[in-house]
């Protein structure tokens, strides 16, 4: 069972917040660098990181790749509204499209908001054509991203 932003019956404290912020900025930050930043020993920091991992606070470490540098210059958001009775089929289609790199089920008129990275407008059309027999779509091409994916505000130890 994954716990929320507390672990071992203890809230995330200022040291944990610093560790998390540093790891989000650079997942390859060494334990020694983290230890220097929080003024603790490397074994103490390693133990904190291990506990954050076990509690599900830290879910993974990853590389952030710029899609345009690997031949995918077009990024889009697809709003998807399944026709009645087609929700599960739409989920299966979305999951089978490798260009869709993330998808959330959302409230409102649409059921899904999906992000895709594409090589061409023809690829965008191909993806839409796979979805349209089972859902209505609305596509927005991403021009720029003034806010990159980032860590949400972390509550302090009092829960705020």
Which residues 6+ apart lie within 8 Å of 14 measured at CB? 156, 157
What are the extents of the domains in the chain? 9-54, 67-141
What pLDDT was estimated at residue 8? 53
Check residue 153 and give its pLDDT: 87
pLDDT at position 19, please? 97
The tens place of each residue's pLDDT in the chain, 160 residues long, gives 444 444 555 678 999 999 999 999 999 999 999 999 999 999 999 999 999 999 999 999 988 899 999 999 999 999 999 999 999 999 999 999 999 999 999 999 999 999 999 999 999 999 999 999 999 999 999 999 999 888 888 877 555 4
| pLDDT value, residue 1 | 41
The CATH number assigned to the domain with range 9-54 reads: 1.10.10.10
Q: Residue 114: which H helix or E strand, with range?
A: strand 112-118
Question: What is residue 155's predicted lDDT score, i.e. its pLDDT?
Answer: 78
Domain over 67-141 is classified CATH 3.30.70.920: yes
Give the pLDDT confidence score for residue 150 in this predicted structure: 83
pLDDT of residue 4: 46
Q: Which long-range contacts (CB under 8 A, 24 or more apart) does 125-134 make?
A: 127/78, 127/97, 127/99, 127/100, 128/78, 130/93, 130/97, 131/78, 131/80, 131/90, 131/93, 131/94, 134/82, 134/83, 134/86, 134/89, 134/90, 134/93
- Compute φ and ψ for 3, nearest 5 degrees: -90, 160
């Amino acid at each position: 069972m994954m716990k929320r932003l507390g672990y071992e019956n203890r809230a995330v404290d200022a040291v944990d917040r610093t560790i998390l912020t540093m790891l989000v900025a650079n997942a390859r930050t060494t334990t020694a660098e983290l230890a220097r930043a929080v003024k603790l020993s490397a074994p103490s920091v390693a133990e904190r990181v291990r506990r954050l991992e076990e509690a599900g606070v830290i879910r993974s470490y990853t590389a952030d790749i710029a899609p345009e540098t690997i031949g995918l210059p077009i990024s889009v958001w697809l709003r998807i509204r399944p026709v009645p009775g087609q929700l599960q089929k739409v989920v299966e289609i979305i999951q089978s499209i490798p260009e869709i790199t993330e998808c959330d089920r959302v409230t409102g008129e649409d059921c899904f908001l999906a992000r895709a990275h594409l090589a061409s407008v023809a690829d965008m059309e191909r993806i839409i054509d796979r979805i349209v027999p089972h859902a209505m779509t609305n596509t927005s091409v991403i021009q720029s991203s003034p806010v990159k994916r980032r860590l949400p505000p972390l509550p302090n130890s009092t829960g705020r």
